[in-house]
Amino acid sequence: MMTTRNHSFIQAGFFRFGTFLLLCALVFAGCFDKPPAHSFGHKHKQTGVQEGQHLRYQKPDRYTWQFPERVVKALDLKPGMAVADVGSGTGYFTFRLADAVGPSGKVYAVDIDEEMNSSVDKQAIAKQADNVQTVLAVEHDPLIPRKVDLVFSVNAYHHLKDRAVYFRNAARYLKPGGRVAIIDFREGAFKHFTKRKTVLDDFKAAGYTLDKQHGFLPRQNFLVFIRETQ
């Protein structure tokens, strides 16, 4: 005959096992928060990008903390401007930037991952975004085809190597008065991050000065730089 104590022990065992199975199901279902796609300087290889599975990185919950429209508005872009979206990934910001600069402007979606670029190319065709052009870059150089008004990078900065050197060299892609806008996770917001002071130190070493900073993003620093000598 089963005692009350043995019955309680078995019930506890089933509860623990059931909890374990639920956690496994959540992990494999992708229910835990994931970082948005970004691959510049370090490939987060995504399987099934060509089949459209990359769209999980543009899921609606990102909107609740990324505030993309507010970010683009803060950039104060004008029709006809040229922008390089460095580390564009699957194009989360690319097409928003393209709308901001209009048909007379240009957005270069810059990434080192061919599959990411292929995804952006397909979206550009579907959206008839003729002002979007992908650029296959290399880790040490964005290879932007012509000078731009803005170099823009979101959630990719922490993967770049020799960042001061990288942006010192990237200055040749900026028009006079051109800017560099960096958005990256702040410490404690995600396992990959860059301290604000580190970004400031990197850009000072690269010959830039802080022009603006925006504090409305809950998880990220948003810093805008200009060259010290224009």
Q: How far apart, in Å, are the Cα atoms of 83 and each of 21, 30, 103?
A: 47, 33, 13
Residue 21: what pLDDT? 41
Please report the pLDDT score of residue 86 as a whole number: 97
Residues of the chain with pLDDT under 70: 1-60, 63, 188-193, 230
Regarding the domain delimited by 49-227, which CATH topology (the fold level of the hierarchy) does it fall under? Rossmann fold (3.40.50)
Quick one: tokens of 132? 């979007």
Question: What pLDDT digit, counting tens, does each position of 198-226 carry?
Answer: 999 999 999 999 999 999 999 999 999 99
Tell me the domain boundaries of the chain: 1-32, 49-227
pLDDT in tens, 90-115: 999 999 999 999 999 999 999 999 99
Can you give the pLDDT at residue 58?
Answer: 64
The sign one gets for the Cα dihedral 204, 179, 151, 70 is positive
Which residues, 6 or more positions from 222, have their beta carbon under 8 angstroms from its beta carbon?
A: 71, 74, 181, 182, 183, 213, 214, 215, 216
pLDDT of residue 77: 98
Residues 6 or more apart from 184 whose CB is under 8 A from it? 153, 154, 155, 156, 157, 158, 193, 194, 199, 220, 221
pTM (two decimals): 0.77
The pLDDT value given to residue 40: 52
